[in-house]
Structure 1
Amino acid sequence: MNKSFSEKLMETMLDIVSAPSITGTPEENLAADKIYAILATIPYFIKNPQNLKKIQVEDDPLGRTYITAMYRSPINTNQTLLLAGHHDVVDIEPYGHLKDLAFSPTELTKRISELSLSEEALRDLNSGEWLFGRGVNDMKYGLALAIELLRELSEKDDLAGNLLFLSVPAEEYNSEGMLSAVEELVTLQQEGCEYISLLLLEPSSLGSAEEPKTFHMGAIGKLNPLFFFVGKETHVSESLNGINVNSLASELNRLLDQNLDLCEEFDGEFTVPPTCLKQTDLKELYNVTTPLYAASYYSMETLNVKTEDLMRKLRELALEAFEKVLSDYSARCKKFQQVQKRTIKPIEASPFVITYSELYQEVKKNYGDEFDRHLDSKVTEWKEAGCDKQTIAIYIVRETCAWYPNKIPMIVIGFAPPYYPNRYPELERPDYKALYRNVAAMIRQAREQFQLELQKNNFCGVSDFSYFELGDKAGIQEISSNLLGMGKTYQFPAKSLEKLSIPGIVFGPLGRDPHKATERLHIPYAFEILPVLVRDFIYRTFQPEQ
């Protein structure tokens, strides 16, 4: 007996979910292998095995791979729709004693009530309309839908365009998978592939049943501004004879962390304020000398800010923090002398803020290639020690400061990996106009066929959607030259990204609680409605304008 599309879809999803592909581990390849094996059973790829590829992520110490599968239309055309997603998932520690069932959704759903559930999660469980499990929502259902549509449409063989399936690892980590896949997309483009649309099958969070269901046509960007502080060390018994870098780091944190003035607004949507991800001095052992170096880095979302404007704001904040610390230091020195009747000689310092690019160029003037060789050797050493990209970013600035001849208190501004460019729908472009017509038709179809309201939002959260075109092309050089570890620990394909310009939408299943133990997928929408909407979206993509 032939299985229905929904039955095949459920079977494929559960098969992919069963692979425990936790991000940042070699086990991500378990899902890649599973996906490759499923695609290899599709008759089209049995006949055309050269169109199915498993590709190594470049310079990846974990040996992770990504998958591409190209269906080519019987019509001789280069027009291609990209179906994309990621196969890694976040960890399963929140499941507690049920973590052995995290990748077995059917069994987990039967026992999820053993955990402490919110009223909403318990209500969803009792409705019978939700499936619980790690990856069911984010985002192995989306991959399964793409695979089963690829199977169905390749068997029908009546599309007027090509389909390219792409599944990458590491989206929940540093996006190494997508950054590597950019090169493959550019290669295919150079071979004649014309990307006319992208469908990223990431989930949307479901609010109340009455709320419109959202999809997105743009992506929030994300930067990690890194500040490196150089002070003036002193013995603790002479604390006023030095400038403690922790004062600089703390004052900047006071000015920057959760600063609402740094929220961006674009077309009625807002970013959250920046927040500190790490703040530390670099003393490794106890002694009675104040620390010379400190560092901090922040998560900052972007919508449409120009790089030059962002750098100006960061400089201004760093200078303001520096001036406040020096002002307070001077006042304390004076008060101490008055109270203690002792003469001390305060440190003479002026606020000095410099970008990493500027610092590096000054060091290069003095030491040339010798410094590059030294830094490469140190980066190799840090990588072998298991340091993460962000820690190495801090160490790179520290090493550069050590070679900088001007030993003065300063703040150095750079960026820690990863970097997600913001992108927004440029509706004046012809390719975006065509996409928007397709989207408008999908909204009408959802309303008329399913009595369902779909709503367009410009910006989805941070995701691989950032890497299919480059928004701020003018500012990419400024970002790249200050992106610490660029070309050493972090590969950001800026030149290749400039060659891609793929209009797209983020449109996937409805779910709740991604990354939590109560991650779940809404079954009726995923298996009765979404396949119809996506299938028709694909067909309309290749239809001439009416």
Structure 2
Amino acid sequence: MGNIRDEIGRTLKGYVALDSITNTYRENSIDGFLKEYFESMEYFKENPDDFGSEKIPGDIHNRSVNWALLRGKGKRTVVFIHHSDVVNVENYNEYKDYAFEPDKLGEALEISSDSLDSEAVDDLQSGNWLFGRGTADMKGGGAIQLSLMKEISKDEDRIGNIIVLAVPDEENLSAGMRHGVKILRRLKEKHGLDYKLMINSEPHQRVDYTKGMISQGSIAKMNFFVYVKGILTHAGKVLEGINPSGIMSRIVARTELNLDFVDEIEGEMSIPPTWVHVKDSKEVYDISTPESSIGYMNVLNFSTSPEEILKKLMAVCVEESDEYMKKYNDARDIFMEKTNRKTIGDKWPVHVVTFNELLDLLKEKGDEYYRKYDEFEKKIIDDLRFNKTSFVNANYELVEYIIKLINRQEMFIVAGMTMPLYPGVSNLFQEDVPDYLEMINRFTTREWKQEYMNRYYFTGISDLSYSSLNYDMESTLSQMENMPLWGKYYDIPFEDIKEIQMPCINIGPWGKDFHKISERVYREDLYERTPRIIEHVLEHVLKEETIQLNMKHQ
């Protein structure tokens, strides 16, 4: 492969130096770097239409997806993807100025390593690890992909085609990959490409430090919300109203770490659900109960669809609200009896609905009310685009506004989805997929006496989620109606994904402590092993085309 080690080193140094912090205008610094990189290659000097930088429509930061197509003989094509954004460097504290300069950062940490744990100190002193923001997550993998393309471009007899897709925003909403799918479809149709494999090069973590790890899929990330409207009352008259926090706390307790929401496939287990944000409507303290409460549940699973998860969540909402109201009514009855009171308040009905059903209730009130919601929704979208609000707050404001327009002195529990959605994908659901684990282990045991382990799902969340569609598209699209702002501010190009569908694999260098001050990548993987493994997989994937071409010449 020539002296690819030096090429990776040079590329990574320049790539990491760019402070392309996610969800900021600084992500645009990538465009010039990659343009210059591709223009330096003889192939692209002769074929300037085979690479480009394409703006993401409507993106507030005006970010781009950068792509390059290296064409060879035949139609078989492998797609390299990597994300070019990184998380912020605030946690580097006094080392912040060195976060994007690995050599200087390493020197500074050697002088004072108080901010590192013992394992990170050992790795630093060994000299086997490269520290710095983005070295592992994931400009290391990006530098490998770019360097491999450059090296392969020198072979004028190369078989097959390689696409590199460098996307922004992976650490946020994956706007880059969601647009990148459209570029892949266009390239496929324009050049008649046959997509055989998508390779991501996110860093891998190890269970056994002697063994590497590949992943043949990517875990789903789904966000669900539950909104509870109570009946406001003075805390001294708590039995004359309903505290929504009481119901919300039961729903959270029932679902937090609930294994009913977990998938088990081929000896692997998805992550139990957790609530990442819960709040009530009160801005300041007072003696009244809150009017409403909202929470966001994160589900990381393998294959259970959004539709099935929402059904389970709705069932929990019904059961736990019933239990709370039974507790409430029992307490109310006992209190009335012991205090000789004839009546306290009313017995309020509880409506448990999806977000789409809530919209239907609003429509029943008439066009005038829905027009008001439509105008409010446009305002929220503008606020999102100009970073005046977060999608978490936007979701809450939209549901709250509908509830106020409906204006019933009744209780509501509303459940739905919220952005972003990363569909679960795995080669388990693809046809005619080679045994990549055996292929890689034959190579790595021969070359380095090292074994690699396999995971059917990369659990770090990745853009491989958009390589194929393992859900039923019709039912998935119907569930998107339960996601506020779907199709207006956020969407997923399911039709395009269906057209470019291909198996996927993550082959990346060993990394540790992503997003931390001690983020680092293993030098031997970065410079030698990972690029050689990827090259080996490329040769195998394109081998069938080689045989076909050779037969034509016989």
Could you state the TM-score of these two structures normalised by the residue count of structure 2?
0.92
Please state how far the C-alpha of 1:102 moved relative to its aligned partner.
0.7
Is 355-364 or 11-20 further displaced after alignment? Answer: 355-364
Please state how far the C-alpha of 1:360 moved relative to its aligned partner.
1.4
Q: Is the CA contact 1:206–1:512 (under 8 Å) kept in the aligned structure 2?
A: no
**Within 5 A, what are the aligned runs for 1:415-494?**
415-426=417-428, 429-430=431-432, 432=433, 436-461=434-459, 462-474=461-473, 475-494=475-494
Residues 185 and 3 of structure 1: CA distance in aligned 2, closer, same or farther (over 3 Å): closer
Please give the alpha-carbon distance, in whole angstroms, between the structure 2 residues aligned to 1:363 and 1:446. Answer: 61
Residues 44 and 439 of structure 1: CA distance in aligned 2, closer, same or farther (over 3 Å): farther
Is 305-314 or 450-459 further displaced after alignment? Answer: 305-314
Query: Could you list the per-position Cα deviations for residues 92-134 of structure 1 after superposition, in whole angstroms to 9, with x for gaps in the alignment?
Result: 1221111110100011112224233222212211211111111
Please give the alpha-carbon distance, in whole angstroms, between the structure 2 residues aligned to 1:329 and 1:111. Answer: 60
Please give the alpha-carbon distance, in whole angstroms, between the structure 1 residues aligned to 2:428 and 2:264. Answer: 17
SS of equivalent residue, structure 1 residue 277: strand
Backbone CA RMSD of aligned residues: 2.1
Task: Give the equivalent residue in structure 2 for 1:281.
Answer: 280
Is 265-274 or 134-143 further displaced after alignment? Answer: 265-274
Query: Could you list the per-position Cα deviations for residues 338-365 of structure 1 after superposition, in whole angstroms to 9, with x for gaps in the alignment?
Result: 3433333343134421111112123234
Query: Could you list the per-position Cα deviations for residues 279-328 of structure 1 after superposition, in whole angstroms to 9, with x for gaps in the alignment?
Result: 11123455555322221111111111134432221111111220122112
Residues 511 and 403 of structure 1: CA distance in aligned 2, closer, same or farther (over 3 Å): same
Q: Give unmatched runs, 5+ long, in structure 1.
A: none
Please state how far the C-alpha of 1:46 moved relative to its aligned partner.
1.5
Task: Give the equivalent residue in structure 2 for 1:82.
Answer: 79
SS of equivalent residue, structure 2 residue 154: helix
* Residue 203 of structure 2 is aligned to residue 203 of structure 1: yes
* Residue 375 of structure 2 is aligned to residue 379 of structure 1: no
Residues 385 and 4 of structure 1: CA distance in aligned 2, closer, same or farther (over 3 Å): closer
Please state how far the C-alpha of 1:530 moved relative to its aligned partner.
1.8
Please state how far the C-alpha of 1:507 moved relative to its aligned partner.
0.6
Task: Give the equivalent residue in structure 2 for 1:412.
Answer: 414
Paired letter, 1:493 = P
Paired letter, 1:24 = N
Paired letter, 2:337 = Q
Please state how far the C-alpha of 1:89 moved relative to its aligned partner.
0.8
Please give the alpha-carbon distance, in whole angstroms, between the structure 2 residues aligned to 1:3 and 1:201. Answer: 21
Residues 372 and 345 of structure 1: CA distance in aligned 2, closer, same or farther (over 3 Å): closer
Paired letter, 2:428 = E
Please give the alpha-carbon distance, in whole angstroms, between the structure 2 residues aligned to 1:407 and 1:492. Answer: 37
Q: Is the CA contact 1:32–1:87 (under 8 Å) kept in the aligned structure 2?
A: no
Q: Is the CA contact 1:224–1:298 (under 8 Å) kept in the aligned structure 2?
A: yes
Is 303-312 or 192-201 further displaced after alignment? Answer: 303-312
Please state how far the C-alpha of 1:506 moved relative to its aligned partner.
0.5
Task: Give the equivalent residue in structure 1 for 2:393.
Answer: 391
SS of equivalent residue, structure 1 residue 227: strand
Please give the alpha-carbon distance, in whole angstroms, between the structure 2 residues aligned to 1:153 and 1:223. Answer: 38
Please state how far the C-alpha of 1:256 moved relative to its aligned partner.
1.5
Q: Is the CA contact 2:307–2:476 (under 8 Å) kept in the aligned structure 1?
A: no
Please state how far the C-alpha of 1:398 moved relative to its aligned partner.
1.6
Could you state the TM-score of these two structures normalised by the residue count of structure 1?
0.93
Task: Give the equivalent residue in structure 2 for 1:64.
Answer: 63
Please give the alpha-carbon distance, in whole angstroms, between the structure 2 residues aligned to 1:381 and 1:56. Answer: 19
Residues 348 and 378 of structure 1: CA distance in aligned 2, closer, same or farther (over 3 Å): farther
SS of equivalent residue, structure 1 residue 78: strand
Q: Is the CA contact 1:389–1:490 (under 8 Å) kept in the aligned structure 2?
A: no
Please give the alpha-carbon distance, in whole angstroms, between the structure 1 residues aligned to 2:31 and 2:206. Answer: 28
* Residue 510 of structure 2 is aligned to residue 510 of structure 1: yes
Please give the alpha-carbon distance, in whole angstroms, between the structure 2 residues aligned to 1:28 and 1:123. Answer: 33
Please give the alpha-carbon distance, in whole angstroms, between the structure 1 residues aligned to 2:387 and 2:465. Answer: 31
SS of equivalent residue, structure 1 residue 136: coil
Please give the alpha-carbon distance, in whole angstroms, between the structure 2 residues aligned to 1:236 and 1:316. Answer: 30
Is 296-305 or 492-501 further displaced after alignment? Answer: 492-501
SS of equivalent residue, structure 1 residue 85: strand
Please state how far the C-alpha of 1:26 moved relative to its aligned partner.
1.0
Q: Percent identity?
A: 26
Please give the alpha-carbon distance, in whole angstroms, between the structure 2 residues aligned to 1:152 and 1:105. Answer: 25
